[in-house]
Structure 1
Amino acid sequence: MSFKILAINPGSTSTKVAVYEDNKEVFQKNIEHASEQLAKYDNIVDQFEMRYEEILNILRENNFDINELSAVVGRGGLLPPVKSGAYRVNEAMVNRLKYNPVVEHASNLAAIIAFSISQKLGIESYIYDSVAVDELEAIARISGMKDIERKSFSHVLNMRAVAMKVSETIGKPYGELNLIVAHLGGGISISIHKGGKIIDIVSDDEGPFSPERAGRVPCKDLISLCYKNDEKIMKKKLRGKGGLISYLDTSNALEVEGRIKDGDDYAKLVYEAMAYQIAKGIGELSTVVNGKVDGVIITGGIAHSKLMTGWIKDRVEFIAPTYIVPGENELESLALGTLRVLKGEEEAREYNLD
């Protein structure tokens, strides 16, 4: 028996959808939402009906009968902390995301849309590896300031998917390996996986800078800068106008590499500094498991760059064999996670009100 799965991943200006039959992609589409269209809605949750209808239209345009679906899966939204893996979408989850999300974000719509479609068809809907996954060990939560507790916020969906994929290459179960995964995208986060859990991370605000985020910066100088600028400007300096944009006025890694190829030494210094900081983050997390690391994985969009991954690999390969798995693969990760549930290889959790 084969399973057909609809995967949904809403972003701020688009909705990505794909249909999989078992582990094979049937089709994938990126629905772009015009800014004028989005401007009609006061809140993200108000976009539900519009995005829901556009997804159904895409299925019709591709001559796909939704009655053939075995399950629907959506990107996990900003819930209170949850465990890794699959959760069935239920009324409690939908109500939390609609009326009391931790943060208003487009990903919150995924479970709401998935639930609506599945209810109509009489099948199950799921989220998988939500951005809210938090399995940090107690010792990893201590920040150094009692007022602030470290929280887990990383590119969980792709990180766990590539960790499982590399585990097959290594020839051992994911749950028996210690793996460090660095996700290189517009933001960069790094995680350490032990016993099938992400037990510690270097998040995008406490580690390497990225194309558009400042990462870890000297605290005393940051405090001084806060007194010279308002909160909105400072938040933008950290997320949106930090990193490569701050130094090179672009977040486009390909453009930076073009400048380097043309002999721009400053661009090379900044770009290599990003690789240097990523390598430091990987080295930092290797201490969590006393250096007993089975593999280092570099993934995300920038992992397509041989220049960037080469610099990182040169610095970290002494820790463990290093694997390059480019791309974000989010829809595939959602579908394959759900497939494991449907085949009885994983069990879906029930979401309860916090």
Structure 2
Amino acid sequence: MNVMVTPERSQIGGAPELRVLALNSGSSSLKFGLYRVGSSRTEMLLGGQAESIGEHKGKFCAHNLCRNESISETLPIFSQRDAILRIVRLLAESKMAAPAAIGHRIVHGGPILRQHCLINSSVLRQLDAASAFAPLHTPSALSVIHYAQEQFPGLAQVACFDTAFHAQLADVARILPIAKEWQSEGLERYGFHGLSCESIVRQLGSRVPSRLIIAHLGNGVSVSAIKDGRSIDTSMGLTPSGGVIMGTRSGDLDPGVLLYLMREQKFSAAMLEDLVDRRSGLLGISGLDSDMRRLHEAAASNADAHLAIQMFCYSLRKQLAAMIAVLNGVDQIVFTGGIGENDAMVRETICDGLSWIGVRLDAARNQSGTNPINDPASRCAVRVIASQEDEQIAHHTRSLFLRSIGGQRPL
């Protein structure tokens, strides 16, 4: 069922207000949100996600905020196309006006695509060529783009890159210590979770401090140093596999570990990728699970689960200290992402190891997540702010769409 689009637009303060569909694809999931986006406000109208894509027992959940209606289904979702078809049907059933444009989260655009852009055939070719940089993410994102183009023919579509926020890193942070011929092939530090970082900076607005550290803690984990609103360093590198310990990803490893496995254990590239991206991190250490909630439940009786939590926090504490050094101090630390927003124990354990710099949490405020969560005597503000990646996609999509049609540029 193709959707023919007649975009609904309204004028808010002289600037066009557009409906934008944001699609945020993972390897086995697809989050979506239909937003009404203006120059100074964003309102979600409809949102949800498809989970366990590729399985017989997929899950599809959605909430219509206009009608305060929710649905939750268990159904086969064999591919991203099935997920897109279910979203299209949901939009039709909601009787809402069709979106004016669609925005896609793209984890890695490679060395050429470093800024958010309208999608055309050239961009699709470049994305396909860059898929080797993020094989866990880019192929599924490309599938979502193709299926969205199929179901919304002629609709403007925008690629929003997680690497864009970090695109201006100075050479001292960007260049990897490898031979120059490989540097010229695009092997450098890219950094990720850029849309999340952008959303935090946008939410802070005029309250953005000069020296800010954003700790995005989810299944993927990164720590970024933000100087006067701009990224100057970040923990992830060439790919989203680098940096600190994550759910199933190892983070930084001694390269000798990989060489040993190749030389002595005859590991192939596929075997190394599987080990580093899918069988390491919290899952590898605990031998139990990558979900921090499950590890907390098991930690009292399972030494490996306890160790996994401690190593996770230890790894983050070291990276936060490194970013404090990069910034020559810190004015504020923001925790975001699923773990960062919801796990008071992890936040406490990490910050307890930063008392040397004067970081102190208020136990009650940390437990409730009431900002700021720091003690008044703390030398550094500490906050918990929800990541709004999908809203950020909607903002960029509106901006690029209006520029493409010669409309008013958003403020």
Q: Taking structure 2 as the reference length, what is the TM-score of the superposition? A: 0.69
User: Which residue does 1:90 correspond to in 2?
Assistant: 120
CA separation in 2, counterparts of 1:155 and 1:184? 10
- The letter for the 2-side match of 1:58 is L
The range that moved more, 142-151 or 198-207, is 142-151
User: Between Structure 1 and Structure 2, how many residues are aligned?
Assistant: 324
User: Which residue does 1:252 correspond to in 2?
Assistant: 291
Tell me how far 1:65 sits from its aligned partner: 3.0
Q: 1:131 to 1:72 in 2, by over 3 A?
A: same
- The letter for the 2-side match of 1:330 is E
User: Which residue does 2:248 correspond to in 1?
Assistant: 212
Tell me how far 1:106 sits from its aligned partner: 1.2
| Contact residue 9 and residue 110 of structure 1 kept, 8 A | no
CA separation in 2, counterparts of 1:336 and 1:178? 25
- Residue 191, structure 1, aligned to residue 191, structure 2: no
**Cα deviation code 1:51-103 (max 9, x no counterpart):** 5544322211322231xx3332111354233445x422334223433x53433
User: Which structure 2 residues correspond to residues 163-242 of structure 1 after superposition, within 5 A?
Assistant: 163-165=201-203, 167-168=204-205, 171-172=206-207, 174=208, 177-203=210-236, 204-229=240-265, 230-231=267-268, 232-242=270-280
CA separation in 1, counterparts of 2:251 and 2:328? 25
- Residue 120, structure 1, aligned to residue 135, structure 2: no
Tell me how far 1:26 sits from its aligned partner: 0.8
**Cα deviation code 1:324-349 (max 9, x no counterpart):** 224x5432331244456657346xxx
Bigger relative CO (Cα 8 Å, ≥ 6 apart): 1
- The letter for the 1-side match of 2:383 is Y
**Cα deviation code 1:279-337 (max 9, x no counterpart):** 1111112222322x3322221111111111111222347363222224x5432331244
- The letter for the 2-side match of 1:34 is G
Unaligned ranges ≥5, structure 1: 39-46, 347-354
Give the secondary structure class of the aligned counterpart of 1:297.
strand
Unaligned ranges ≥5, structure 2: 1-10, 12-16, 59-78, 133-137, 360-379, 403-407
Tell me how far 1:161 sits from its aligned partner: 0.9
Q: 1:29 to 1:266 in 2, by over 3 A?
A: closer
CA separation in 1, counterparts of 2:339 and 2:396? 24
The correspondence for 2:409, drawn from 344, 349, 354, is: 344
Q: CA RMSD in A?
A: 3.1
Tell me how far 1:235 sits from its aligned partner: 2.3
Q: Taking structure 1 as the reference length, what is the TM-score of the superposition? A: 0.78
The correspondence for 1:335, drawn from 373, 377, 394, is: 394
- The letter for the 2-side match of 1:27 is L
User: Which structure 2 residues correspond to residues 1-354 of structure 1 after superposition, within 5 A?
Assistant: 1=11, 2-22=17-37, 23-32=42-51, 33-35=53-55, 52-66=84-98, 69-76=99-106, 78-81=108-111, 82-84=113-115, 86-97=116-127, 100-103=129-132, 104-112=138-146, 120-121=154-155, 124-131=156-163, 134-146=167-179, 147=182, 149-165=187-203, 167-168=204-205, 171-172=206-207, 174=208, 177-203=210-236, 204-229=240-265, 230-231=267-268, 232-249=270-287, 250-260=289-299, 262-291=300-329, 293-303=330-340, 304-316=342-354, 318=357, 320-326=380-386, 328-339=387-398, 344-345=409-410
- The letter for the 2-side match of 1:215 is G
Q: 1:73 to 1:220 in 2, by over 3 A?
A: closer
- The letter for the 1-side match of 2:89 is N
CA separation in 1, counterparts of 2:131 and 2:381? 38
Give the secondary structure class of the aligned counterpart of 1:227.
helix
